Structure 1
Amino acid sequence: MVARRVVALVRAAHAAPAVAVTAFAGAYAWAVGAPAGLVAAAVLAGQLSIGWSNDWIDAARDRAVGRADKPVATGALSVSTVRAAALVALGVCVVLSALLGAAAAAVHLLTVASAWAYNARLKATAWSWLPYAFSFGLLPSVATLALDPPRLAPLVTGVAAALLGVGAHLANVLPDLEDDAATGVVGLPHRLGRRRTTTGAVVLLLAATAFVVLGTPGGATAPGIAALVVAAVLAATAAWTAARRPGRRYPFLAAIAVAAVTVTYLLTTA
């Protein structure tokens, strides 16, 4: 019984993006010489709070459309359990962020607050993309602001992260466009429609990789071109899947993979 609840909590936390964002943040912190373990722990706590708050806030909507992938909607978890988990994770996030220093803590908590705002209201508006741009764009600075002396991350890094965030947002929503619209969630992707959302996701993800490849010292090196080619293949397969099999989660997983390629290349130049 306990094991099932733990598994359900992991699923409700949106484990794949939470782990991916944590890994990227920790790797970047390590590359710039920041306390990688502490950065990763703070980011993971924040990501868990975001994932659990999403399922807590969306519980009624998820039940209404029969979301079998949401433990709260299937009855595997109660709303009160997910709400408590989200609040505890948020408290842990505050404590861990404070250990990074005032500037890093303030920026990290702003990124988490932005994501909570998306869950609570902005996801159903034309501004649904803004929390992704804001939170992902600032996330690299959590690591650099934990340095001595603190500093903001390079502009190239921040812009690429923001582009990746918005691209991932568009790709993530694709399988749920109809279910979301049926429960009153009409964000930017729903207003754009499936075709334009797919195109937008591909363009933004490739733009992020190209921005890093062309904007870092040394310009378009052979490894950079290779990274761009891999990103293009992933984006193309994501677009194909979105068009032919609209209910599949592959476009979002491909977006995470593009982010991994981009971050890996960025780390080699950091």
Structure 2
Amino acid sequence: MPVIGALPVVKAVPAIAFIALTLTLAACNKSEEGARPSGEPVAAVAAPAGTSWSQTIAETPDGYYLMGNPSAKVKLVEFGSYTCSHCKDFAAEASEEIRKIVDTGKMSFEFRPYLRDPIDLSSALLARCGGKDIFYPLSEQFFANQSAMFEKVQGNDAAFKAVEQMAPAQRPGAIAQIAGLIEFAQQRGISADQAKQCLADTGAATRLAKGVEAANSQYNISGTPTFVLNGVVVENTATWATLQPKLKEAGL
């Protein structure tokens, strides 16, 4: 298995070709100086009776999952990689804090998988497999499992070489099996058959890869995580400690 974090971020990968990538992993890194969004204080908006905004998940026209008030004044998007250590750290630090803000109705949140490598593709397909209501909890659990997953894949060069000889549609499932992701998803309510079906969904894989192309084109993604606040990239901000002040400047 190649050394993780040794190469530059994947840029504008052709959609179908992404499914056939070798297992060279891209870097995830961001420095700590950001843009300065500004705005008047945003008023809270109550969720519909009997609900909370952080449990309100809707699929967007682009096929992502938006958490919270769809009409929120502040819209935060994270482009993150399931194999990125900085993204894992951000999920651990910020997930509960983001939910608290989303529950005010002032801000919505989207996590958009940024595919840097084939393990990302397998993870993203499985994270979506249970539908919108468990996408966020499952994504957070994938991040929490990142180190254990890497332990499984280290030293499996022969298995990954065999994957390269498979048809593209078979590769995400084979990679997920090597990385222990199918078993991990099973323990969280996704059956083995359901997982295998999702992993073999070339249409979903193509849409995810095209999302990476679109993000690169629109936002010039240079590392993960990358945050977009009300349509503007918050430059060089990778941690909750550096993002939180930007949210306050946006009126939260």
Q: Which category of TM-score, normalised to the shorter sequence, fits these structures?
A: under 0.3
Provide the TM-score with structure 1 as the length reference.
0.25
Which of structures 1 and 2 has the larger relative contact order (alpha carbons within 8 angstroms, sep 6+)? 2
Q: TM-score, normalised by structure 2?
A: 0.26
Question: Comparing both structures, which one devotes a greater share of its residues to strand?
Answer: 2
Which structure has more helix as a fraction of its residues? 1
